[in-house]
Chain A
Amino acid sequence: SQQGEEDPQALSIQEGENATMNCSYKTSINNLQWYRQNSGRGLVHLILIRSNEREKHSGRLRVTLDTSKKSSSLLITASRAADTASYFCAVYSSASKIIFGSGTRLSIRP
């Protein structure tokens, strides 16, 4: 079964707005990662947050992690048309497995 569940499943926003996606997971983790997938392509790693971190930034990306609630969020600020893609969270557990969530389809309207 999938480890992570993303919310919302789909999100459509205006260019320039911020996009927030959430991920919930079930077990203890070593780290949580976010990936992006453009249509018809492979996944690309965006950012990683370790289990002992609460927030991390990379360019227009901000990730938060709440291990007590077993949840994470990805914020993309000042969205651009090129941000249109599917976004997945992935949890790395102590079993060395990397399990992906169901993904959020993000559409940026020009």
Chain B
Amino acid sequence: DAGVIQSPRHEVTEMGQEVTLRCKPISGHDYLFWYRQTMMRGLELLIYFNNNVPIDDSGMPEDRFSAKMPNASFSTLKIQPSEPRDSAVYFCASTVRIGTVNTGELFFGEGSRLTVL
């Protein structure tokens, strides 16, 4: 079975440029999470979706960040304009129904390492 697929794996861009990160969750998973990992701040939850609808975007750092999930098999995280402090590894993760019975066990992609010069 294919896991969570993220692209690109590495992105180097210049300050001010638009960056789009992509994620394909595991088929059948109805929750999708975007996390950002840095040495200083660890793993931060940016936003999560349920059935393609954004549920909580309180972790999105600024208006420069936006995320969409146009269908159950695709999500994007966009940064426009990018800044050097956005440099981080961005992870996408998916899971099936979170509830008191289901576990909420997350399946992670391999991440997109973003460097903004």
Residue of chain A at shortest CB distance from B56: A97
A-B pairs, 4 with minimum CB distance: A42-B108, A100-B43, A92-B104, A43-B108
A31–B110 CB distance below 8 A: no
B100–A33 CB distance below 8 A: no
A42–B91 CB distance below 8 A: yes
A45–B105 CB distance below 8 A: yes
Q: Interface code A75-110, partner B: CB below 8 Å = 1, 0 otherwise?
A: 000000000000010101001111111110000000
Does A30 sit within 8 A of B, measured CB to CB?
A: yes
Which interface class (under 10, 10 to 19, 20 to 34, 35 or more) fits A?
20 to 34
Does B111 sit within 8 A of A, measured CB to CB?
A: yes
Complex Cα gap A83–B35 (Å): 24
Within 8 Å CB of B106, what residues of A? Answer: 33, 35, 43, 45, 90, 98
Does A60 sit within 8 A of B, measured CB to CB?
A: no
Q: A41-B110, A42-B110, A42-B111 are in contact. Are A99 and B45 (CB under 8 A)?
A: yes
B100–A30 CB distance below 8 A: yes
- Chain A interface residues (CB < 8 Å from chain B): 2, 30-31, 33, 35, 41-45, 48, 88, 90, 92, 95-103
Within 8 Å CB of B48, what residues of A? Answer: 96-97
Complex Cα gap A88–B45 (Å): 14
A103–B42 CB distance below 8 A: yes
Does B25 sit within 8 A of A, measured CB to CB?
A: no
8 A-B residue pairings within 8 Å (CB atoms): A2-B42, A30-B104, A31-B103, A42-B93, A43-B108, A92-B104, A96-B104, A101-B42
A100–B35 CB distance below 8 A: yes
B110–A97 CB distance below 8 A: no
